[in-house]
């Protein structure tokens, strides 16, 4: 079970957790998910997926944004991005990532908001590189 409280850290089964210390995207393990009910988002995320496959050590697609965020928080993955999410998909996980020492933003690096349907979460060491990859196909 993952938990966090603002200013008090993040935990898995009662034990403190933290993000990885990886500082290179080419050595990182990433995770994402795909929304299937919006063709534009599927196309955009497929482009992002392809861009990350060429730049990261590994990219996985699991299926639960909340769990993917927790896996970033406990160091199982170095970074996560996804489109088309709702507040119930990301709010708790975003807090857990931040309390574990990570960073959570939108795809342009602005502060995370439950009202924006995109999220980027990382260990902070690769966040800038991930933002660069996400901006590559932004205008298409």
Give the pTM.
Answer: 0.94
CATH number at residue 114: 3.40.190.80
- Residue 46 domain boundaries: 26-135
For residue 104, what are the CA distances in angstroms to 24, 44, 67, 122, 140?
17, 20, 15, 7, 24
Q: Count Cα atoms within 13 angstroms, Cβ side, for 37.
A: 2
Classify residue 20: in a domain, yes or no. Answer: no
Taking only the tens place, the pLDDT of each residue in 37-89 is 788 888 888 999 999 999 999 999 988 999 999 999 999 999 999 999 999 99
Classify residue 9: in a domain, yes or no. Answer: no
Which pLDDT score is estimated for 140? Answer: 45
Which pLDDT score is estimated for 138? Answer: 62
Classify residue 106: in a domain, yes or no. Answer: yes
Which pLDDT score is estimated for 22? Answer: 95
Taking only the tens place, the pLDDT of each residue in 95-126 is 999 999 999 999 999 999 999 989 999 999 99
**What's the structural domain count of the chain?**
1
**How far is Cα of residue 3 from the mean position of the Cα atoms in its chain?**
17
Which pLDDT score is estimated for 63? Answer: 83
């Amino acid at each position: 079970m993952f938990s966090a409280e603002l200013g008090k850290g993040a935990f898995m089964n009662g034990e403190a957790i933290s993000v990885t210390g990886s500082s290179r995207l080419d050595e990182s393990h990433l995770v994402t998910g795909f929304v299937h009910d919006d063709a534009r988002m599927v196309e955009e995320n497929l482009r992002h997926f392809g861009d990350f496959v060429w730049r990261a050590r590994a990219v996985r697609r699991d299926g639960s944004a909340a769990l993917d965020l927790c896996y970033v928080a406990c160091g199982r993955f170095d970074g996560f991005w996804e489109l088309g999410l709702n507040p119930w998909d990301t709010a708790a996980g975003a807090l857990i990532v931040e309390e574990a020492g990570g960073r959570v933003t939108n795809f342009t690096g602005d502060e995370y908001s439950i009202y924006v349907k995109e999220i980027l979460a990382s260990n902070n060491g690769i966040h800038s590189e991930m933002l660069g990859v996400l901006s590559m196909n932004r205008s298409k």
